[in-house]
Chains A and B, each alone.
Chain A
Amino acid sequence: MGSFADAIDRIVAGNRVFAHDTAEQDPKYFSKLSEGQWPDILWIGCADSRVPETTICNCKPGEIFVHRNIANCVHPHDVNTSAVVQYSVGVVKVKKVVVCGHTMCGGANHSLTDDDLGETLNTWLHPMRELRRKHKSELDALPDNNARSARVAELNVQSSLNVLREHPAIKQAVNERGLTLHGMIFDITSGQLRLLDEGGSKKSNGLWSPN
């Protein structure tokens, strides 16, 4: 029981340091934060503890609107993700939507097989396992399971982007104010983000690129 309480003490203390240091660096910081949020980006990423978006992008609180779930999946009938998209694109009016997968992803690893993860997770990962089946020959040709898992993560990002493109709020924002969508992979082994190509149809635009 002792060590359990310590883990909580640790993050409470971490928060006090954050609050103190931030206010010291910029005394107006928190009063500005109270005024509202104007993030440019909606980030749909994995719940994996190794991919904390604000940290790995060296951003500050207020810059990235976030949804994180198991393996950054966007399923068409998911009310949770739909609500996030509707609010961030329709109300907060972000300018870019990012779907970010990553290498060594537990969800992608588990999608390489049909191992039983329990009914809840089997159901959640079903579309990702279907991707694996659909791309079997391509995946079989890869050297090892790390490479296969990384490729499934990429395919899953593309598939999530395809679902997002049909979301009514996104369709409207793309047409009316030039909202853009971007797929990325975070490489756990190097800490680097990589932008996915749009299938060669159009040259990819990075974030904050000059118009």
Chain B
Amino acid sequence: MQKYLTQSHDRIFENNRVWAEEQKKKNPEFFAKLKEGQSPDYLWIGCSDSRIPAEAITGLGPGEMFIHRNIANLVCNVDLNVMSVVNYAVRHLKVKHIVVCGHYGCGGVKAAMTPKDMGLLNPWLRNIRDVYRLHESELDKIEDEEKRYDRLVELNVVEQCRNVVKTAALQTSYKENGYPIVHGWVFGFHDGRLVDLKIDFEGMLKGIQKLYNLTD
């Protein structure tokens, strides 16, 4: 096995070996510190798209950001997968910030609006059509198709932020500790920069608690 690996053009393992050696050279204590555990400040909920590695585009190293990535950065209330991530990040790791990050030109968002039976993707992508329906009159007025998709990407991020705020973990922790705070961002491929949608977190929390309050 070892012989095989050293002989093959095994890019991922070769890359990983180079990376591990570089870290040790830069900081001999690097891995000893990682071993002790993680206490990230951030939970990132982003798209699975290969072009948005969260830690790389924010300049963070290993140990700094807890990361969940799925198709079109959705936070669905019946999805045990994302709910477990939010739960663990908020209740066990006590992250201070939750960033929901979408991106312009999202293939998932486009696929969701395509009139086609996509099998197992249908129930997942349906959530994006629901976001469209919530903002139908605004979106229908945008004539340029790309711009309409870009706006849908932004509105989807805001809606997913709202879904994070609806969770018991978020509401309880914020009431007790004053954190985490939820942020909605969008990544643009044309310049590699993050755009802050500047959601009003406090206002959003108050707004949803009329119907979705889960705190005593």
Partners in one complex: yes
Which residues of A does B touch, CB under 8 Å? 1, 4, 7-8, 11-19, 22-23, 29-31, 33-34, 37, 39, 41, 47-59, 61-70, 75, 78-84, 86-88, 91-92, 104, 106, 117-118, 120-121, 123-124, 168-169, 188-193, 195, 197, 203-204, 206-210
Within the assembled complex, what's the spacing in Å between the Cα atoms of A10 and B136?
A: 36
Assess the A81–B81 pair: CB atoms within 8 A. yes
Given contacts A11-B42, A191-B30, A193-B13, 18 further A-B contacts (CB under 8 A): A4-B179, A15-B57, A18-B192, A34-B189, A37-B49, A47-B67, A49-B40, A50-B63, A55-B19, A57-B15, A70-B84, A79-B79, A83-B121, A87-B108, A120-B80, A121-B88, A191-B23, A206-B5
Q: Mark B199-215, 1 if CB is under 8 A from A, else 0.
A: 00000000000000000
How many residue pairs link A and B with beta carbons under 8 A? The number is 265
Contact (Cβ within 8 A) A87 B121: yes
Residues in chain A near residue B115, CB distance under 8 A: none
**A7, B67: Cβ atoms under 8 Å?**
no
Whether the pair A207, B194 counts as a contact (CB closer than 8 A) is: no
The answer for the CA separation of A53 and B123 in the assembled complex, in Å, is: 28
Return the chain A residue nearest B16 by Cβ. Answer: A193
For chain B, the count of residues having a C-beta within 8 Å of the partner chain is: 90
Residues of B within 8 A of A52 (CB): 53-56, 60-62, 65, 67
B8 lies within 8 A of A209 (CB): yes
Interface membership of B138, Cβ < 8 A? no
Return chain B residues, CB-CB under 8 Å to A66.
48, 50, 53, 69
Residues of A within 8 A of B58 (CB): 11, 14-15, 18
Question: Given the complex of chains A and B, what is the CA–CA distance between A209 and B4 in angstroms?
Answer: 10
User: Can you list 19 A-B contacts (CB < 8 A)?
Assistant: A4-B96, A8-B183, A14-B58, A15-B59, A15-B194, A33-B51, A49-B63, A55-B62, A57-B12, A59-B53, A61-B52, A64-B53, A67-B48, A68-B68, A87-B108, A188-B35, A189-B31, A208-B8, A210-B9
Which of A15, A16, A91, A210 has most chain B Cβ within 10 Å?
A15
Establish whether residues B59 and A58, one from each chain, have CB atoms under 8 Å apart when the complex forms.
no
A207 and B13 within 8 A (CB): yes
Does B163 have its Cβ within 8 Å of any Cβ on chain A?
no
Give every chain B residue within 8 A of A55 (Cβ-Cβ): 19, 53, 55-56, 61-62
B141 interface hit (Cβ, 8 Å): no
**Shortest Cβ distance from residue B179 to the other chain A in the assembled complex, whole angstroms:** 7
| Pick from B8, B65, B97, B192: contact of A49, CB under 8 Å | B65
